[in-house]
Amino acid sequence: MVEFALAVNVFMLLVLGTFDLARAYLAQTVVSNAAREASRYGAAHSSDAGWMAAARQAGMNLAIGVDPSALTLNVVTQQIDGLPYIRVSGTYAFHSITPFVGALLGDPITIQVDTSALAG
């Protein structure tokens, strides 16, 4: 019984750490896809009025499974070799549920993604 009491703590830490790792991977994938969708929308509609806000909203519409208040999408245009590009930077503050992971890596863990698409 004593052996079980000692081993169950380590086992639960590994199980909950695995859940946190899966949640962090899900959050990174969602933020990446939201940024890609925002850059795609911006590239297709860059000649429309108010396209930046609409592109940001298109990306936020795909942010399912994460806290939308902790997600930030920044949409900008830039010229590279005379060609217009739409660049979207996404930032998300991920909060772990395991105290050990939060103490080890910091809480919140900042997830950052950048993507670009050729406009037009």
Phi and psi angles of residue 116, each rounded to the nearest 5 degrees, phi first: -140, 150
Per-residue pLDDT of 61-118, as tens digits, reads 988 889 989 999 999 999 988 899 999 999 999 988 887 777 777 788 899 999 998 9
CA nearest 75: which of 90, 62, 92, 93?
90
- Global confidence as pTM: 0.83
Range of the domain at 36: 2-118
**Rounded average pLDDT over 39-66:** 90
What's the pLDDT score for residue 95?
87
Token readout for 6 is 């000692």
- Looking at the structure of the chain, the number of domains it has is 1
Q: Are 111 and 27 in contact (CB under 8 A)?
A: yes
Nearest Cα neighbor of 42 from 34, 30, 52 is 52
